[in-house]
Amino acid sequence: MAQDLIDNLIDAGVQTTQQMIEKKGKNKNAKEIPFEIDGHTYMLDSQEEWCMFNWIKEMKEHGLLLDYVYQPAHWELTPRFEYTPYPAVVDRKKRPVDEKYANVPKPFKTKFLMHPHIYTADFTLKFDANNLKLMEYLSQAFKLRLDDVQDGVLTLVVDVKGTFMSNDGGRSFSINQKMMMAVHNIYVQKFVPKEAFKKLGVPKRCTTTMKSGKASKVFKGMNFLENVLKGYGL
């Protein structure tokens, strides 16, 4: 069962932490997007994260978001794997391989086989779970679970995605999402700004383009976040 899971991960192209670090280091053409909030400047990976941060900023201004963390701590989904080499293979050059030798137990040091599989979400968000109007508003775009509420605080783990994802990207996220539920009982919310803002409302900053400040066509015709909140009595 465990090996089948690992094989599926490999087939889906899911990367280890080390592989992701190496890939990021090599991708010199990737342009990070600066965003300032609460006295900090974050370097974001995509325009979708920029949109999400603008929603976070406006929710904080309305006093509706208790806390947030960008790229929170890693979750381990599978451990590091090692293996014990088969004696006949290790000593192939020293002794001939035969059944008699193969059946003789002999201590060998374990060797590295596979890295642990680590997952990092884009955001964790915390809300007042006792604010029922807020819960009704959030439920339009998020799946709110009782398991995600502790001491009156709702915690959402969010992965921000673009409208279009490659087949490999979508499949990798789906595997991570399932494994987070199976291993940690955490549901990772997929947040696509263009779809979510139809229900949650568009932050004012997102109505203009990120660089030039000209009117944006992406969220054209959508209601403002402030107006949607008023509709829920917030």
Question: Would you state the structure tokens that stand for residue 152, as one six-digit string?
Answer: 């009156």
User: Looking at the predicted structure, is the pLDDT value of residue 204 above 80?
Assistant: yes
The backbone region for 134, taken as left when phi is positive above 0, alpha when psi lies in -120 to 50, beta otherwise, is alpha
Per residue in 3-22, pLDDT tens?
Answer: 454 444 434 444 433 333 33
On whether the pTM is more than 0.85, the answer is: no
Higher pLDDT, 88 or 55: 55
Mean pLDDT, range 109-127, rounded to an integer:
93
Tell me the average pLDDT of the chain: 81
Residue 176: predicted pLDDT: 95
Residue with tokens 């990798």: 172
Q: C-alpha dihedral over 27, 48, 39, 118, to 10 degrees?
A: -60
Residue 34: predicted pLDDT: 85
Mean pLDDT, range 105-113, rounded to an integer:
74
Per residue in 137-191, pLDDT tens?
Answer: 999 999 999 999 999 999 999 999 986 554 555 688 999 999 999 999 999 999 9
Per residue in 42-65, pLDDT tens?
Answer: 898 888 999 999 999 999 999 999
Amino acid identity, position 214: K
- Is 225 in contact with 202 (CB distance < 8 Å)? yes
Residue 225: predicted pLDDT: 96
pLDDT band at 102 (very low <50, low <70, confident <90, very high): low
Cα–Cα dist 115/61, whole Å: 42
Mean pLDDT, range 103-128, rounded to an integer:
85
